């Protein structure tokens, strides 16, 4: 069998951080399973976060009006993207599993990791109009978020001051990872490690080590499949009327994002759903 490859996209400034310890646990456990483990240490590499014209080698298609998405799509098709982008895209192509490791900044990823997503996941390479969501380019790959928070878990409950963590996760897990087709594994969240005693941090790492051992066997999160929508400009990419009718009697919306004015399905972005809880209705 060919050796499997995992990629850890890592964003923390300090090699002595808890995030670094989490990264190291993942590297050790994946290597023990026979994985070839690649790490993109974004701060150490001084990865450029800004999406600029410098990402395109050679002449622009439209020098009068620089449109980043269009120009990088053509550059990808013609082999004219900057070397740092190409190097990261090759890692993505090789990896069966990608783990994004970071501290939560302002309910999202650090700017340097957002820049990685903006620059590496170019149109053509990571998605096209025909290849999105469950029909996406990376539908045979798995990806997940692993991150630390400053806030406690209770602060991110539906009745906590920060609100439901599922809502904060939706743009990243659905709008970025699932949009590109990834099978999204449940996030690994380390709640407020900076404010925990050493024994609690050790227990967090032990729990992560145990999870990594069986990571690829996990069932991914479920999202609303494309078949529920009229995927045409005339139909507005909206739910089919029949689907809306079928959902009227259900107590919850389809997903965190497709709530249909109903209560959010509990922990839709935190754990795999089963049976009637699944957006696609499959068991």
pLDDT value at residue 2: 81
Rounded Cα distance, 212 and 153, in Å: 22
Q: At what angle do helices 111-120 and 83-94 cross, to 10 degrees?
A: 80
Tell me if the pTM is above 0.85: yes
What are the φ/ψ torsions at residue 202 (nearest 5 degrees)?
Answer: -60, -40
Give 91's contacts (C-beta < 8 A, 6+ positions apart). 7, 38, 40
Helix (H, G, I), strand (E, B) or coil at 212: helix
> Is 173's pLDDT higher than 90?
yes
> Is 283's pLDDT higher than 60?
no
280: pLDDT confidence band, cut at 50, 70 and 90? low
Helix (H, G, I), strand (E, B) or coil at 102: strand
Rounded Cα distance, 211 and 161, in Å: 29
The 10s digit of each residue's pLDDT in 27-83 is: 999 999 999 999 999 999 999 999 999 999 999 999 999 999 999 999 999 999 999
Question: What's the mean pLDDT when you consider all of the chain?
Answer: 95
C-alpha count within 13 angstroms, C-beta hemisphere, residue 172 = 28
Domains of the chain: 5-217 (3.40.50.360), 222-283 (no CATH)
275: pLDDT confidence band, cut at 50, 70 and 90? low
Average pLDDT over residues 142-158: 97
Own/partner contacts of 43-52, CB < 8 Å, gap of 24 or more, are 43/11, 43/12, 43/13, 43/112, 47/84, 47/112, 47/115, 47/116, 48/84, 48/115, 48/119, 49/111, 49/112, 49/114, 49/115, 49/116, 49/118, 49/119, 50/115, 51/115, 51/118, 51/119
The 10s digit of each residue's pLDDT in 250-259 is: 999 999 999 9
The 10s digit of each residue's pLDDT in 216-256 is: 899 999 999 999 999 999 989 999 999 999 999 999 999 99
Rounded Cα distance, 101 and 26, in Å: 10
What are the φ/ψ torsions at residue 35 (nearest 5 degrees)?
Answer: -75, 145
Residue with token string 């783990």: 99
Rounded Cα distance, 256 and 178, in Å: 13
């Amino acid at each position: 069998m060919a050796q499997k490859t995992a990629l850890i996209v890592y964003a923390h400034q300090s090699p002595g951080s808890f995030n670094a310890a989490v990264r190291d646990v993942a590297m050790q456990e994946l290597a023990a399973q026979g994985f070839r483990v690649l790490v993109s240490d974004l701060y150490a590499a001084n990865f450029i976060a800004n999406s600029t014209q410098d990402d395109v080698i050679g002449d622009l298609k439209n020098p009068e009006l620089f449109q980043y998405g269009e120009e990088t799509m053509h550059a990808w098709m013609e082999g004219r993207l900057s070397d740092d982008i190409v190097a990261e895209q090759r890692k993505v192509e090789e990896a069966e599993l990608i783990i994004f490791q970071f501290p939560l900044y302002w309910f999202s990823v650090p700017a340097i990791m957002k820049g990685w997503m903006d620059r590496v996941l170019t149109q053509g390479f990571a998605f096209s109009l025909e290849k999105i969501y469950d029909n996406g380019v990376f539908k045979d790959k798995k990806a997940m978020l692993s991150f630390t928070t400053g806030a406690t878990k209770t602060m991110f409950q539906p009745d906590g001051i920060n609100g439901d963590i599922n809502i904060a996760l939706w743009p990243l897990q659905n709008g970025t990872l699932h949009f590109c087709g990834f099978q999204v594994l449940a996030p690994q969240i380390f709640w407020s490690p900076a404010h925990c005693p050493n024994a609690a941090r050790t227990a967090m790492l032990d729990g992560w080590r145990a999870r990594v051992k069986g990571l690829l066997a996990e069932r991914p999160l479920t999202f609303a499949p494309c078949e529920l929508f009229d995927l045409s400009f005339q139909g507005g990419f909206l739910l089919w009327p029949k689907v809306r009718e079928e959902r009227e009697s259900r107590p919850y919306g389809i997903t965190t994002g497709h709530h249909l004015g109903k209560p959010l399905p509990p922990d839709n972005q935190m754990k795999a759903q089963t049976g009637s809880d699944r957006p696609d209705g499959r068991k």
